[in-house]
């Protein structure tokens, strides 16, 4: 065996593509290959569907887009005639009239091989079965004499079943020596542990080392955290790339008696509250940057939600691109005015105070005849929020700055937000953050700043805002919790209703009061129409109010709270069951 065949260098290009920017993504791939060439690498690996950007959704169905992606891949393939490293790059690919999620091996000036994704996810935020054809199982590709297996993302995630083919087993049986996996895996809390457990299972069953490359960056509501890693065949960590930042890292593998082995760099990985905060920052940064907004503005109320959003915005964009506007009414407490000013000073943002009393009074005068004889109620209170929304959107239209909305998941879940008022805007970085975590993240940010954050270090959110009890945080002269249970109780119930989809009877059986659970469930259901019209926002939990939780607005079903009846399998004859199976098959 030659010295060359005993060494194999793979460059991991953990990069941030932009959906639809085919030429820009190709330029990133080209630059990564140039660095790989300088590092003496044999192969440069890029994430899933990199040339298109991930996820491309229905954009990938456009023939013009498919053609642009293929043309870019062909151009990159011709460039590999320079004798530099081979490239594995993800791209949509049309063959025999079918569209595939593919990975192309570019080497020696040619497209040396194509591999298609076989297992297509169709759960949560994924909707690939309606976009792509299922690819066949295939053997490894050969790069510099090394047989490399290329399962694509979902191809390693589930065990073999009627719907999922064991691609890793197929690759091991057909001679693969090492597995490289291009991924588009979005961030969620504790996702790193889940990925590791999946990879451990695949390495254990195949006996092969595995390189897990994930993309990084924000795409609409999704945030991809990178955090790429590699395991040796003995399950030891071969390398760990950083999270939430681009990284081009070359791993040098050596051939041993037990197979290929690497001892690469090990970076710390952010998870838990730190991971959530970093995801909020990256999600906002890329939404603003990739959509071409020059700056952002937000209403600063002196409360904790807007304070946290302001800190996230400054960390994402820098203070010079963030504008805070205090919009007080006659019920606004002096302490709120003071705290808003302190926040703006600590963050170094532009800040102004625009009293809204004249606008609210004007609305009330216009409606006085229409509302004559009717008692004042929540309608008049909501005019305050709508006046604020109108003024913020006017500033946005005039300056081009995007409005950041500041509603947390707890209150948005139960409808405690006003459409066309405190919900309207371009993007909400804390849309998937429960109120109890809002307090935790605010405390965290005063003692820690994520790598790459552009805001100041140290205490940026006034302690008075954080220490103020939630029941004292006023919403126009009325505490939210005057009509909601305490936030720790509210969040515990919502987590069971939203993330776990637990029946009401199960939640009550855990010790929660039946009336409180039923009321929160009712509020959750009737607020669906509001959430449909809310701004997009960063997803950090397993199920947010975006693409992975789709409930009808018009919906008469309500959980009665009674124990669920056991199904009576005795009513189903064997013949009926067999007929159903035959029909489905």
Per-position pLDDT tens, the chain of length 585: 344 468 999 999 999 999 999 999 999 999 999 999 999 999 999 999 999 999 998 889 999 999 999 999 999 999 999 999 999 999 999 999 999 999 999 999 999 999 998 888 877 778 888 888 898 989 999 999 999 999 999 889 876 566 677 899 999 999 999 999 999 999 998 899 999 999 999 999 999 999 999 999 999 999 999 999 999 999 999 999 999 999 999 999 999 988 899 999 999 989 899 999 999 999 999 999 999 999 999 999 889 999 999 999 999 999 999 999 999 888 788 888 999 999 999 999 999 999 989 998 999 899 999 999 999 888 888 888 888 888 999 999 999 999 999 889 998 888 887 655 555 678 999 999 999 999 999 999 999 999 999 999 999 999 999 987 554 333 433 444 447 889 999 999 999 999 888 999 999 999 999 999 999 999 988 888 787 777 888 898 876 666 666 676 666 667 777 888 888 777 877 655 554 444 444
Residue keyed to tokens 């199920």? 543
Angle at 332 between CA 326 and CA 335, to 5 degrees: 85
Four-way CATH pick for 8-256: 3.60.110.10, 3.30.70.890, 3.30.70.100, 3.40.630.20: 3.60.110.10
User: Is 290 marked active-site?
Assistant: no
Domain extents for the chain?
8-256, 274-368+377-477
Catalytic residue among 48, 154, 245, 502: 48
Enter the pTM of the model: 0.90
Catalytic residue among 69, 153, 170, 262: 153
Spatial CA neighbour of 100 closest among 128, 58, 123, 63: 128
Mention every residue, 6+ apart, whose C-beta is less than 8 A from residue 387. 327, 356, 359, 360, 363, 421
Catalytic residue among 28, 69, 117, 274: 117
User: Is 262 marked active-site?
Assistant: no
Four-way CATH pick for 274-368+377-477: 3.40.50.620, 3.30.572.10, 3.30.70.20, 3.40.50.10140: 3.40.50.620
Contact between 29 and 248 (Cβ < 8 Å): no
User: Is 154 marked active-site?
Assistant: no
Which phi and psi (to 5°) does residue 469 adopt? -60, 145
β-strands 210-214, 229-231 pairing: antiparallel
β-strands 146-149, 141-143 pairing: antiparallel
């Amino acid at each position: 065996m030659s010295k060359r065949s005993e060494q194999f260098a793979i460059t991991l290009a953990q990069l941030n593509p932009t959906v639809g920017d085919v030429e820009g993504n190709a330029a990133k791939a080209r630059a990564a290959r140039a660095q790989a060439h300088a590092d003496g690498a044999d192969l440069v690996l890029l994430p899933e569907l990199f040339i298109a950007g991930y996820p491309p959704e229905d954009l990938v169905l456009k023939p013009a887009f498919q053609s642009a992606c293929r043309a870019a891949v062909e151009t990159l393939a011709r460039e590999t005639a320079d004798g530099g490293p081979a490239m594995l790059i993800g791209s949509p690919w049309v063959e025999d009239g079918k569209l595939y999620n593919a990975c192309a091996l570019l080497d020696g000036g040619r497209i040396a091989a194509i591999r298609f994704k076989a297992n297509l996810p169709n759960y949560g935020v994924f909707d690939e079965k309606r976009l792509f054809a299922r690819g066949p199982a295939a053997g490894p590709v050969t790069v510099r004499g090394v047989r490399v297996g290329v399962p694509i993302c979902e191809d390693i995630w589930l065990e073999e079943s009627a719907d999922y083919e064991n691609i890793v087993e197929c690759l091991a049986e057909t001679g693969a020596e090492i597995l490289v996996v291009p991924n588009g895996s979005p961030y969620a809390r504790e996702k790193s542990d889940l990925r590791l457990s999946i990879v451990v299972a695949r390495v254990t069953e195949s006996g092969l080392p595995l390189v897990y490359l994930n993309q990084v960056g924000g795409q609409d509501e999704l945030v991809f955290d990178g955090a790429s890693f590699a395991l040796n065949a003995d399950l030891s960590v071969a390398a760990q790339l950083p999270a939430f930042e681009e990284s081009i890292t070359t791993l040098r593998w050596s051939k041993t008696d037990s197979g290929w082995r690497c001892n690469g760099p090990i970076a710390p990985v952010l998870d838990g509250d730190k991971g959530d905060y970093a995801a909020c920052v990256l999600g906002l940064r890329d939404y603003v940057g990739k959509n071409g907004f020059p700056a952002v503005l937000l209403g600063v109320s002196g409360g904790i939600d807007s304070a946290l959003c302001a800190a996230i915005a400054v960390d994402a964009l820098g203070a010079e691109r963030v504008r805070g506007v205090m919009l007080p009414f006659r019920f606004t407490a002096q302490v709120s005015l003071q705290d808003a000013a302190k926040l703006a000073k600590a963050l170094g943002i532009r800040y102004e105070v625009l009293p809204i009393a004249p606008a609210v009074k004007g609305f009330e005068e216009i409606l006085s005849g229409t509302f004559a004889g009717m008692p004042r109620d929540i309608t008049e209170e909501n005019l305050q929020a709508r006046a604020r929304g109108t003024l913020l959107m006017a500033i946005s239209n005039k300056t081009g700055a995007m409005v950041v909305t500041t509603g947390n998941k707890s209150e948005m879940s139960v409808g405690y937000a006003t459409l066309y008022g405190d919900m309207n805007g371009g993007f909400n970085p804390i849309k998937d953050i429960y109120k109890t975590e809002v307090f935790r993240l605010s405390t965290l940010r005063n003692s820690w700043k994520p790598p790459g954050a552009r805001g100041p270090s140290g205490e940026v959110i006034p302690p008075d805002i954080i220490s103020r009890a939630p029941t004292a945080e006023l919403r126009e002269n009325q505490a939210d919790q005057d009509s909601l249970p305490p936030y720790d109780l509210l969040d515990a119930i919502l987590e069971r209703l939203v993330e776990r989809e637990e029946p009401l009877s199960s939640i009550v059986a855990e010790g929660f009061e039946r009336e409180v659970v039923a009321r929160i469930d009712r509020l959750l259901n009737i607020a669906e129409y509001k959430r449909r019209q809310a701004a997009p926002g960063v997803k950090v939990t397993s199920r947010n109010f975006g693409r992975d939780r789709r409930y009808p607005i018009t919906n008469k079903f309500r959980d009665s709270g009674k124990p669920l009846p056991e199904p009576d399998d005795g009513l189903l004859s064997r013949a009926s069951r067999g007929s159903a199976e035959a029909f489905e098959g």
